[in-house]
Amino acid sequence: MTDHQMTPLDAWVPSGVDVTVPSMARTYDFLLGGGHNFAPDRELAARTEQLMPGAGKVARINRAFLGRAVRYLADRGVDQFLDIGSGIPTVGNVHEVAQRALPNARVLYVDKDPIAVAHSELMLTHNDNADILRADMRDPASILTSAQARRLLDLSRPIALLMVMMVHWVPDADDPHALIGRYRDALSAGSYLVLSHVTADQRQDQISDARNTIEQSRSADHLTPRTHAEVLCLFDGFDLVEPGLVGCGLWQPAGPGDLSDTNHELNAHIYAGVGRKP
Ligand code: SAM
């Protein structure tokens, strides 16, 4: 039996999931040190780390940004979070960070990946204030009008819309700028957009090699790195809070674990920002 055939240990894999093709949710899980991944995911992660030394560290720097941004918002009283492209649960999930600061904070996770959804369901079994929806971010109406959104989120009050390390999986042909605009228009004033996004601005060579590797892996996902100006446009209609759109390690770092101080390039492979709808 090969590594990626089903064994009783893999009983957590929902039926119909093709584990012979890497998924970006599982590859990212492996880069973060998680256990919900298979050989093709691990091979893609290893190849990415080879082409882009420090890729695992970059994933952790992004994850740390997510935690800081959620704390920043909870400290300002934001108690509703819509986390789209939430991924496979790992350390410092949004509801954990938010509910530590505001015990009644409500979180709706959304992901298209069935394994991310199955594990989030397990994690949230006893949490009435958080839920997971399997949906594609390219269908804002189905997310915003879902039974879960209606139960958990009050769109007449400020919410935090999180799209962390996921919009680079939305190709230009699907017009992510217009899609984010549809979410923005549904949010009340005082809502926030938290977004991080892969860029090739620092290392065109490494990112295009990583992109080609993903293409060759038969993954259904296609990476679209974007420039600083292009990512900035995704915040149209939001006012960026300090320090603006910066490398994710440089967004209000709170301590040594938040960023790489040995290789500064690693802090800037992913742009991150938080914007407020006026
Ligand atoms: N947001 C988490 C973080 O930053 O730690 C997880 C990021 S993970 C790299 C990207 C996630 O986005 C994956 O779980 C993937 O399944 C999800 N994703 C990609 N495209 C998506 C789409 N069109 N709709 C919903 N989820 C999507």
For the chain, which residues make up each domain, given as ranges? 61-201+224-276
From 166, 172, 224, 251, give the residue whose CB has the most ligand 1 atoms within 8 Å, as the site to mutate.
166
CA distances from 25 to 22, 45, 117, 159 (A): 9, 11, 10, 25
* The predicted structure's pLDDT at residue 10: 65
Cβ–ligand 1 contact at 169 (below 6 Å) = yes
* The predicted structure's pLDDT at residue 130: 97
* The predicted structure's pLDDT at residue 15: 78
Cβ–ligand 1 contact at 111 (below 6 Å) = yes
* The predicted structure's pLDDT at residue 185: 98
Cβ–ligand 1 contact at 55 (below 6 Å) = no
Count the Cβ atoms, other than its own, within 10 Å of residue 7: 10
From 63, 66, 111, give the residue whose CB has the most ligand 1 atoms within 8 Å, as the site to mutate.
111
Q: Residue 105 and residue 17: Cα distance in Å, rounded? A: 32
| 28 Cα nearest atom in ligand 1 | 9
Cβ–ligand 1 contact at 273 (below 6 Å) = no
Cβ–ligand 1 contact at 168 (below 6 Å) = no
Side chain identity, residue 264: H
* The predicted structure's pLDDT at residue 264: 85
| 113 Cα nearest atom in ligand 1 | 16
* The predicted structure's pLDDT at residue 11: 66
- Ligand 1 centroid to residue 113 C-alpha, Å: 8
Cβ–ligand 1 contact at 167 (below 6 Å) = no
Cβ–ligand 1 contact at 28 (below 6 Å) = yes
Q: Residue 182 and residue 243: Cα distance in Å, rounded? A: 25
Q: For the chain, list residues with pLDDT below 70.
A: 1-12
User: Do the beta carbons of residue 192 and residue 73 sit within 8 Å?
Assistant: yes
User: Do the beta carbons of residue 266 and residue 233 sit within 8 Å?
Assistant: no
Cβ–ligand 1 contact at 116 (below 6 Å) = yes
From 21, 68, 95, 112, give the residue whose CB has the most ligand 1 atoms within 8 Å, as the site to mutate.
112
- Kindly report the pTM of this predicted structure: 0.94
Count the Cβ atoms, other than its own, within 10 Å of residue 221: 19
The fold of the 61-201+224-276 domain, in CATH, is Rossmann fold (3.40.50)
Count the Cβ atoms, other than its own, within 10 Å of residue 9: 7
- Ligand 1 centroid to residue 24 C-alpha, Å: 7
